[in-house]
Amino acid sequence: MNQRILMVDDEQRILEAFRRSLHGRYELDTANSGAEALAKARTTARPYAVVVSDMRMPGMSGAEFLAGLRAVSADTVQIILSGQADLADAIRAVNDGNLFRFLTKPCEPAELARALDAALEQHRLVMSERELLERTLDGAVKVLTELMAAAHPVAAARTGTVKALTDAAISVLHPKDTWELRIAAMLGQVGLMAVPAEVIANVVGTHTEDVDPEALAMYRGHPALSRELIGRIPRLERVAAWVASQPVTLAEAQAPTPAATEESGGAAKQIYETVTAFVVAVESGLTPGRAVVELAKNPRYPATMLDAAVRAYMSDDLRRPRQVKGKELVVGMMMNQDVVTRTGMTLVRSGEVLTESTAIRLRHFAEGVGVVEPINVLA
């Protein structure tokens, strides 16, 4: 059970008194200002279970600090301990900071300990509920992705690519609170199931002026459909918003947008944006290296995230061996053998990653002159 408690007060003697009275009972940390406390909350490897803050502090008030803390660590239970707060400050702390208790100074050690015990129990309940929800969602999402693989191989292949790149970015960058990001990676392409595979094949990697307007509109609508479906699931509202804003064309991927904030998802949202933009850029016909060069021009995509994406995309470690027929070849698959026609002409060399245009070409050959099957791929 997480017993980490952060005590925040601008008077050092009060913090020392806390240490003496609570010593040995809790895992205690202190900060002399709201700014220092917020910095600790942002950088700590283990989030605080409970924060106890004074209200009146120079520079940043307790109400302002707790409002900022909510964006950084939403599950931390918050307590105000103050002898000078007026009614307006108290109301603001409750409304903006999701306050659990409001205690007044002087506060007897026994009363403070009771409040801390109650806050720790509240934190335990919140985290237990979250764990149960995450496990339930994770199981449901895995079932859905398995159904997607059977019903719509193109949507499933893109989901697999996005998920693999996202997992690689997480392992390198270690963002906080990744459960929303993992679910976004697994569900973000669910709207593609409503788009026929032949429409996707005709749109992806083709100049928009050469595409049938109705087909283009159908394809471009898949993020909105994904948002509508995901938004019906409790606590996935933010995931739905990320998915709805994912780029669909290279022009959209290159367009600048406001930087992600802690409240909107911070690094997790930025990873999802970077991964989906990279996938779109490769599907548009760019090589992985060229995709990185083009996307790096946009400050929306940090270099570290692009580097993690391209390394994962070119890595065999994130792909599983499979045998497929020519008509089942889709974007993102890496060839584990040369692909040759029945007449002996080599179409693709082993190690090449299929773009949408290459996948379409191979499927046409498979349906026409024929190719040697089964084909060994890594996907």
Percent of the chain with pLDDT over 70: 89
pLDDT tens, 279-333? Answer: 999 888 888 889 999 999 998 899 999 999 888 888 755 566 788 899 888 877 8
Structural tokens at position 110: 């026994």
Long-range CB pairs of 134-137, under 8 A, 24+ apart, other chains included? 134/179, 137/179, 137/183, 137/233, 137/236
- pLDDT band at residue 370 using 50, 70 and 90 as cut-offs: very high
Listed by start position, the domains of the chain span 4-127, 152-318, 319-379
Please answer whether residues 175 and 268 qualify as being in contact, where contact means their C-beta atoms are separated by less than 8 angstroms.
yes
CA-CA distance, 41 to 68, in Å (whole number)? 10
User: Is 90 exceeded by the pLDDT of residue 228?
Assistant: yes
Instruction: Give the class (CATH, top level) of 319-379.
Output: alpha beta
User: Is 60 exceeded by the pLDDT of residue 36?
Assistant: yes
CA-CA distance, 349 to 137, in Å (whole number)? 40
Q: How many CA atoms lie within 13 A of 151 on its CB side?
A: 13
pLDDT at site 40: 94
* More confidently predicted of 374 and 74: 374
pLDDT tens, 102-147? Answer: 888 888 888 999 999 999 999 998 888 777 777 777 777 777 777 7
* More confidently predicted of 90 and 276: 276
* More confidently predicted of 351 and 209: 351
- pLDDT band at residue 260 using 50, 70 and 90 as cut-offs: low
User: Is 80 exceeded by the pLDDT of residue 255?
Assistant: yes
* More confidently predicted of 84 and 348: 348
CA-CA distance, 254 to 12, in Å (whole number)? 50
Instruction: Give the class (CATH, top level) of 152-318.
Output: mainly alpha
CATH number for the segment(s) 4-127:
3.40.50.2300
Q: Which candidate, 180, 171, 213, places its Cα nearest to that of 74?
A: 180
Q: Which candidate, 78, 61, 63, 81, places its Cα nearest to that of 21?
A: 81
